């Protein structure tokens, strides 16, 4: 999916889900995208700490932001990270999951 297709999909979701106008979406979208970038950076910071519980908590917050934009595929990855973090998994390759999330988000941020 191209960058424009991904952004269009978010716009359509916001229009249908929250009954926003095109103008409202246009003004809010840059902030939403910046928030996603911030959540990704926060997740990477928690990853560097190598604490599964903190990684899981960061993924939980990120998942909510993704779901609010209709980004189900990316939210599923964040949800998996959250689950593995809650169980304090030491065998999970959190780096790979975060990399997968980055790939999923690439067309948007």
Distance of CA 98 to the CA centre of its chain: 10
pTM: 0.92
Structural domains counted in the chain: 1
What pLDDT sits at residue 13?
A: 94
Q: What is the pLDDT along the chain (109 residues), one digit of tens a residue?
A: 678 899 999 999 999 999 889 999 999 999 999 999 999 999 999 999 999 999 999 999 999 999 999 999 999 999 999 999 999 998 999 999 999 999 999 999 9
Cα 90 to Cα 97: distance, rounded to the nearest angstrom: 14
Instruction: Tell me which residue range forms the domain holding 48.
Output: 3-105
What pLDDT sits at residue 85?
A: 96
């Amino acid at each position: 999916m191209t960058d424009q297709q991904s952004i269009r999909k978010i716009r359509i979701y916001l229009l249908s889900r929250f009954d926003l106008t095109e103008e409202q979406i246009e003004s809010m979208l840059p902030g939403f995208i910046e928030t996603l970038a911030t959540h990704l950076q926060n997740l990477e910071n928690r990853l560097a700490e190598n604490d599964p519980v903190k990684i899981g908590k960061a993924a939980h917050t990120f998942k909510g932001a993704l779901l609010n934009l209709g980004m189900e595929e990316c939210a599923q990855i964040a949800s998996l990270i959250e689950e593995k973090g809650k169980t304090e998994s030491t065998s999970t390759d959190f780096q790979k999951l975060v990399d997968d999330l980055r790939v999923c988000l690439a067309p948007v941020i």
